Amino acid sequence: MTSLPSNLPKANQAIPEYDSVYKTCLRVERALSKLLAEKNHEQKTQLTTDLIYIRILGYLLHFIPSHTGLDSLARQIKECSGDNDLLQLGQMYYDKYLRPFRFNRGRTSGSSRSSPISFDTLDDMMTAYLTGEATPVSFATAKKKALVRDGFRCVISGSYDATSLRASEQLRNKRLAENPVPELVPTQCAHIFPTSMHKDIPLGSDKRLGVSALYTVLERFGYTTLSEELEGEKIHRLENVMTLDPALHTFFNMLELWFVATGESNQYTIRSIYGTELKYEGKEVTLESKVDGLPLPSPAYLAIHAACAQVAHLSGAAEHIDKYDRDMEDVMVLSPTGESAGLLDHALRGLQIAGY
């Protein structure tokens, strides 16, 4: 958890409405930090949570990737009648924006270790992978088409997909001709918006309402067509998927790695919570399709993910989510004295996100 910077980025600070509400966040953060230094353990737990909520609002003012979203958030903060309302607003973004992106993201899938069909030529394999619907409506189709578009490689590391190499001698020779020879890994199909958001969600269910709440938040940010773009099986559209190394996929899913747009078309700088400890920290990657007509990952989707990742990390929300999830795994029986009340509340709100 990192304290809010004293100022917004210059472009945002230049707008009086943003600067004014950010100063409100700073004031509340200072007051909570002072109280935190004076209180006992039980009170500190709630104060720490409140600090996370106010920092979520502050960091959103840094990272929301649209002026529409910044305008909306500034209005919401300004309309709060007191500090408690502000904290409730921060909790709303914690529950409706950060947790859905992070919820059930620990598991990754999409690599295939089954024996692949061999192809006479690389073109034959690409043609076979591209056969079918123009917009993927299944995970398997999305993975194959993303592999073709991404050149059968992780878009960050450049490592080749091991299964595809086994299926094509031409692809193997292409890899071996490079210097240095790239690694081979069981790549995975990474979704920017998680598949759990739309997997078998019946109309009218609580989980559908949870997904709708996320889209309502994103509509306030100016992204008014997302619910239609990602409805049902359209979650597998090529704009929402890319090929990643398994470890990088896990980091991406856990909001520990993100893509920062450089200003050049489809070019990004890789950032992570690990800084220079991660080999690819600061690497510039340009996303490009190896085949005409295959859409690239959406810059808007990646921007939404990047904002969520940075706010979750810097505010302390990601660590908070992880702590409560670990505690829930460790606790077999809730305390009769009420010490587990916060844990229970967090768990119940998580179940609402999951649709139970």
**pLDDT tens readout for residues 246-299:** 999 999 999 999 999 999 999 999 999 999 999 999 999 999 999 998 999 999
Residues 337 and 279 both lie in one domain: no
In a domain, 112, yes or no: no
**Out of 71-85, 255-269, 283-297, 337-351, which region has the weakest mean confidence (pLDDT)?**
337-351
Residues 322 and 276 both lie in one domain: no
Residues 52 and 181 both lie in one domain: no
The residue range of the domain holding 159 is 122-309
Residues 236 and 146 both lie in one domain: yes
Residues 297 and 341 both lie in one domain: no
- Residues 241, 301: Cα–Cα separation, whole Å: 10
In a domain, 348, yes or no: yes
pTM: 0.85
Tell me the percentage of the chain whose pLDDT exceeds 70: 80
Residues 296 and 327 both lie in one domain: no
In a domain, 166, yes or no: yes
- Residues 106, 93: Cα–Cα separation, whole Å: 21
Q: In this model, does residue 350 exceed pLDDT 60?
A: no
Q: How many domains does the chain have?
A: 2
- What length is written for the chain? 356
Residues 254 and 186 both lie in one domain: yes
Spell out the SS3 assignment of the chain.
CCCCCCCCCHHHHCCHHHHHHHHHHHHHHHHHHHHHCCCCHHHHHHHHHHHHHHHHHHHHHHHCCCHHHHHHHHHHHHHCCCHHHHHHHHHHHHHHHHHHHHCCCCCCCCCCCCCCCCECCHHHHHHHHHCCCCCCCCHHHHHHHHHHHCCCECCCCCCEEHHHHHHEHHHHHHHHCCCCCCCEECCEEEECCCHHHCCCCCCCCHHHHHHHHHHHHHHHCCCCCHHHHCCHHHHHCHHHEEEECHHHHHHHHCCCEEEEECCCCCEEEEEECCHHHCCCCCCEEECCCCCCCCCCCCHHHHHHHHHHHHHHHHHCHHHHHHHHHHHHHHCCCCCCCCCCHHHHHHHHHHHHHHCC
In a domain, 1, yes or no: no
Residues 94 and 146 both lie in one domain: no
| pLDDT: which is higher, 271 or 197 | 271
In a domain, 109, yes or no: no
Residues 64 and 184 both lie in one domain: no
Residues 221 and 339 both lie in one domain: no
Residue 327 token pair: 């505690």
Residue 106: predicted pLDDT: 43
In a domain, 107, yes or no: no
In a domain, 114, yes or no: no
Residue 206: predicted pLDDT: 47
Residues 303 and 205 both lie in one domain: yes
In a domain, 5, yes or no: no
Residues 250 and 303 both lie in one domain: yes
